[in-house]
Chains A and B, each alone.
Chain A
Amino acid sequence: MFELITNLDFTPFLLSFKLASITTVILFILCLPLAWYLANTKSKLKPYIETITALPLVLPPSVLGFYILISLSSNSPFGSYLDEVFDIQLAFTFNGLVVASIFYSLPFMVQPLQNGFESLNKNMIESSYIAGKSIITTIFKVALPNIKPALLTALVITFAHTIGEFGVVLMVGGSIEGQTRVASIAIYELSEGMDYTNAHIYSAFMLIISFIVLLSVYMFNAKQKQKLVGFK
C-alpha cells in the first residue's frame, strides 16, 4: 500500500491545487468590488448582472466549456487577437484552464460575499463613512472582518469547487500531461483504462481533502456565530 502511494504520480494533484489557488486569488480580487456593488446598488441592472454571474450554476459544464473553447480558440476574434498581438494561446493550455475556471467558479465567490455584505448592519457601514473613512477602508476594516464566515465560505468553496471541476476542464484543456491533466481528468482516465487501484487512491485522496476542507469551514463558522452572538 505504502509502495503504491509513493509510486503515485502527484502531478495532477499539484496542477489541480495550482489551478484552484490562482483561480481563487483572481476571483477574490474581481468579485470583491462586484459583490459590494451588487449588495448596495438599487440599479435596475442588478437582476441582469446577478443572472449572468449565476449562469454557471445551472448551465451544463459542457455548454459552458463549449462556449469558452470557441471564444478562446485562435479562430475566434478574441483568440486570434490574443495570439497575434500578445502571442498568447489559451485553448488547451493551463492559462486557458484558469480563464475557464474563473467563469465556472464565479458564482461560488460572488454569492457568499454578496450575501455577507447584504447581511451587514447598514448603520454600522454608515458609521464608518461618517467617521470620515473611504469605501475601501470601510470594506477592509469593517465589512470583511464582520463577514468572516461568508468570506471563508467564498474562498474555500471556490477553491474546492475548482479542484473538483471536470466538464469545463476537459472541454477547454483536454488532457495534456503536466499542463492540463488535473486530478479529476486523471481519475476519469484511470477508470477508463480500468486501473481501478490508482483510481481508488486518487478518488480517496480527493474525498478526504474535500471532507477536511468543508469540515474546517463549518467548524469555523459555528465558532464565529458564537462569537458574534456574545456571552454575558
Chain B
Amino acid sequence: MIHIDIKKPLLGVDGFMQLDINININKNEFIVISGNSGSGKTTLLRCLAGLEECSGTIKVDNILWQDNTNKLKVQKRDIGFVFQSDALFMNMNVLDNLLYVNNDMTLALRLLDMTNMSSFQKTMPANLSGGQKQRVSICRALMKRPNILLLDEPFSALDNNIKSKLYTELLQIHNEFNLTTIMVSHDLNEVYALASRHIILDNGIIKKDENLSELLNNIEVKEQIQLDAKILKIININNQKHAIVNINNKFINIKLNNNKCKVGDNLIILSELFI
C-alpha cells in the first residue's frame, strides 16, 4: 500500500497553483493519471520518486519515504522510472544499460527476451528506434527488481502500431513482476487498455478517481454502431459512381446508388457489430 499526502506550490498554465494530493494506492494496481498540461501529473510522479522536493508524507508498505523532517534519498526508493524522453545511457550498449543498474545477467536477458530486444544486446542507443529505446528503458527500470514502476508518458512519441504492441508487453511485465504501476498518459486508449484505476488531475488536485473494471462493465452493450463520415471525392469505376469517404481518418471506397450525393456531404453509416 502506498500512501501519498503531499503539497507543492506549482507554476501551472493559469499561474501559481497548489499540488495537493491525498491518495492510497493498493499493491498491484495499474494506475493511469491523466489531466491537462500543467495539472501536476509529472510533478506527482517525480515527488514520489524523490526527484523533486515537496512537503507532506509518503509512506510505502509502512516504510516512511518522507515526512516534513526526513526524506529518503532517490537512490534508496524502491522504484523503477521510465521517462517520456529517451534517457538511456548513450555511452553504453543496450545490455550494459541494464547491467549498470544491477549486474544480473539472467534478469537482463529475461527482460530483453520479454520485450523482443534480445538481438539488440550490443546495439548502442543512438542506433535504436523510438519504440526500441522505450522497450530498453522499461527493461532498465526493472533491473533493480522494484515493486513500484513509474512511467511518465512513455509512449507519447510512438506510432499507434508500436504502442499497441508495447501495451501487451507492459501488461505482461506488470503481472509477472507483481508491480504496482503508476503511469502518466494523455491517451484514453492507454487508460482503457492498461489501467485498473484512472485518476484525473485538474489544477493540482484529484478531479476524478475511478475504478476501470467497474467503468468497463457499465459501458452499454451495443449490436449496431453509427459512424459519421464525409465524402472527400467522387470517382467513376466502370461507369459506376464511387465515393471516397473519411471515417475517423480511415479512407473507404463506397459504391454509390444515389446520384444526388456530392463532395462534402456528411453521411451516417450504420454497421452491425460482430467478431
Contact = CB atoms under 8 A, between A and B. Distances in A.
| A and B bind | yes
Interface of A: 121, 123-124, 126-134, 141-142, 145-146, 227-232
Nearest to A141: B100
B49 A130 contact: yes
Interface stretch (B19-27, B80-88, B165-173): B80-88
B267 to A, nearest CB: 43
Contacts of B80: 130
Contacts of A131: 100-102, 140, 143-144
B127 interface: yes
Contacts of B89: 124, 127-128, 142, 146
A124 B88 contact: yes
B90 interface: yes
A130 B79 contact: yes
Given A121-B85, A123-B83, A132 B91 contact: no
Given A121-B87, A146-B90, A129 B127 contact: no
Q: Which of B85, B91, B100, B101 has the most CB of A within 10 A?
A: B91
5 contacts: A123-B87, A127-B140, A129-B75, A130-B77, A131-B101
A134 B125 CA distance: 23
Contacts of B11: none
B127 A126 contact: no
A230 B126 CA distance: 5
A167 to B, nearest CB: 40
B87 A146 contact: no
Interface residues of B, number: 28
Contacts of B91: 142, 145-146
A230 B81 contact: no
Contact of A227 (B101, B126, B143): B126
Nearest to A122: B87
B234 interface: no
Of all A-B residue pairs in the complex, the 5 with the closest CB atoms, nearest first, are A230-B126, A123-B87, A145-B91, A131-B101, A123-B83
Q: Which of B49, B89, B127, B144 has the most CB of A within 10 A?
A: B89
A138 B55 CA distance: 27
Contacts of A128: 89, 100
A228 B75 contact: no
B51 interface: yes
Contacts of B81: 126-127, 130
Given A130-B49, A134-B75, A141-B100, A228 B127 contact: no
A230 B49 contact: no
Interface in B106-132: 124-127
Nearest to A145: B91
B83 A230 contact: no
Contact of A127 (B76, B77, B87, B126): B87
B74 interface: yes
Given A228-B90, A230-B127, A127 B144 contact: no
Contacts of A130: 49, 51, 74-75, 77, 79-81, 141, 144
B127 A231 contact: yes
Contact of B74 (A129, A227, A231, A232): A129
Contact of B126 (A126, A132, A133, A228): A228
Contacts of B126: 227-231
B87 A132 contact: no
Contacts of B124: 230
Contacts of A134: 75
Contacts of A229: 126
Nearest to B126: A230
Contacts of A231: 126-127
Contacts of B100: 128, 131, 133, 141
Q: Which of B75, B79, B101, B140 has the most CB of A within 10 A?
A: B75
B75 A132 contact: yes
Given A121-B87, A130-B141, 7 more contacts: A124-B87, A126-B51, A126-B83, A126-B87, A127-B83, A130-B77, A230-B124
